[in-house]
Amino acid sequence: MNKQRKTDIGPPHYEKFLPPIIKKNYGKWAYHEVPEQGVLVHTAESGDKLYSLRVASSRLLSIATIRLFADLADKYCDGYLRFTTRNNVEFLLSDGAKVAPLRAELEAEGYPAGGIGNAISNIVHTQGWVHCHSAATDASGVVKSLMDELMPHFTNMDLPAKMRVAFACCLNMCGAVHCSDIAVLGVHTRAPRIDHNELPKVCEVPSLVASCPTGAIRPATVDGNQSVTIEEGQCMYCGNCYTVCPSVKINNPESDGISIWVGGKVSNARREPTFSKLAIPFLPNNPPRWPEVVEAVTGIVNIWKDNANKHERLGEWIDRIGWSRFFEMTGIPFTRYHIDDFTHAGETYKRSAQIRQ
C-alpha cells in the first residue's frame, strides 16, 4: 500500500446524508401525523412537510437489494433514505405526491409499508444459524415465519397499542429482547457435551475453566486426557465455554428450543420500563416454519387484541387482569419453571392475600 494507512477516523458525519429539507428544519419540527399506515408526515415550524415512507425489510440484505433501495431513493427522494432502529427502511420525501408511486413500486418488489403506531413493527433479531456460534435456533427463519402471520398487524393499525416483538437466538440475548411486549428466545436446556479426545488438542484448560461464570467447569483427567468436567447443576447454559473452546458443545438438536416472554417495554409512557416475564418455557425447535412458535405468539397477540383497552400494551393489560387470568385466558400451563430461582427470585414471590379467588 502506497497511501498512508488511515485509522480512527470514525463514522462519516451524518450531516452529509441529511436531505436539504431536514438541514433546513433541523430541530424545528412542530408535529407529525400518520395519514395512512406506513406514512409519517412531519411538519416543521416553517410549514415545510417531510414525508417518510416506512417499509419492511428482512434485515439480512443483499447488496443487490441495497442498490435497489438506492435507485428508488434517487428516483423519488433525491437520493435520501434512512433505516430505523427496528430495521425498517424509511424513504424521505419532500414531495407528498411521490409517496404513492414509490409505495406501489416497493410493494411490487415485495417490501410492504407499515409498522407505525398501534401496530406490530419489524421484529428485531439476532444472527441465528446464519452466522452465530451459540444459537439455539435460527433467528431469521423464525422471524420470517412469525411475520408472515403477523403481517396484517404491520400493514394496518388495528391493535389496542403498539406491540414490540423481539427475537434472540440464545439466552445471552445479544438482541437484548428482555424488555419487549413479546420476546421469542432460543434456549439451551442441557449442559454442554464434551469431546474429551478433541479438547486437549484445541483448547486451553485454564482459560476454559475461567470462562464459566458460575464456576461449573473443573479440570479433570478423563480417559487419560487433560480435560474438564462440568457440574451440571451449576450450568446455566450461557455457552461462554463454547465460545472459548469448540470441544465443549452447547448446541444440542435434541434439547435446544424456544421460549416465549411477555409484557416488557422500554418506553416510559404511562408505566415505567419493565422486563418481559416468562410465558412459555419451552417450545420445540421445528424448522423450517416453527408452527408451535407461530401459533403461540399469534394466540397471545389475538387474546390481547380482543381484551385490552385502548393504549394498553400487553404488560399493562396483564397487570390489570393479573397473571392468573393471563394463564387462564391463554390456556398456557403454569409450571415450576415460571418461578424464578436466580439472584433476586424472592422479590417475585407474592406476599399478600390479595388474590382473585
Q: Does 128 bind other proteins (CB under 8 A)?
A: yes
Contacts of other proteins in 239-258 (CB under 8 A): 240, 242-244, 246, 251-253, 256
Q: Does 193 bind other proteins (CB under 8 A)?
A: no
Of 24, 29, 327, 329, the one binding other proteins by CB under 8 A: 29
Contact letters for other proteins, residues 318-337 (x by CB under 8 A): --------------------
DSSP secondary structure, 181-217, as one string: SEEEEEE--SPPEE-TTTHHHH--HHHHHHT-TTS-E
Measured CA to CA, the distance from residue 49 to residue 330 in angstroms comes to: 44
Q: Does 7 bind other proteins (CB under 8 A)?
A: yes
- Residue 179 or 262: the one with the smaller Cβ distance to other proteins is 179
Backbone conformation region of residue 27, classed left if phi is above 0, alpha if psi is from -120 to 50, else beta: left
- Measured from the CB of residue 357, what is the shortest distance to other proteins in angstroms? 27
Contacts of other proteins in 98-117 (CB under 8 A): 110-112
Q: Does 163 bind other proteins (CB under 8 A)?
A: no
Q: Does 339 bind other proteins (CB under 8 A)?
A: no
Name residues whose C-beta falls within 8 Å of residue 323's C-beta, 6 or more positions apart in sequence.
Answer: 277
Stretch of 8-16, 191-199, 225-233, 326-334 contacting other proteins, by CB under 8 A = 8-16
What's the Cα-to-Cα distance from 3 to each of 6, 7, 8, 201, 320, rounded to whole Å? 9, 12, 16, 42, 65
Q: What angle do CA 323, 325, 330 make, to 5 degrees?
A: 100
* 30 alpha-carbon distance from chain centroid: 31
Phi, psi for residue 121 in degrees, rounded to 5? -85, 180
Q: Does 209 bind other proteins (CB under 8 A)?
A: no
Contacts of other proteins in 59-78 (CB under 8 A): 59-67, 69-71, 73-74
Q: Does 84 bind other proteins (CB under 8 A)?
A: yes
Contacts of other proteins in 9-28 (CB under 8 A): 9-14, 16-18, 22, 26-27
What number of chain residues touch other proteins (CB under 8 A)? 114
Stretch of 192-200, 217-225, 283-291, 330-338 contacting other proteins, by CB under 8 A = 283-291
Name residues whose C-beta falls within 8 Å of residue 322's C-beta, 6 or more positions apart in sequence.
Answer: 356
| Burial group, residue 67, by CB count within 10 angstroms (0-12, 13-18, 19+) | exposed
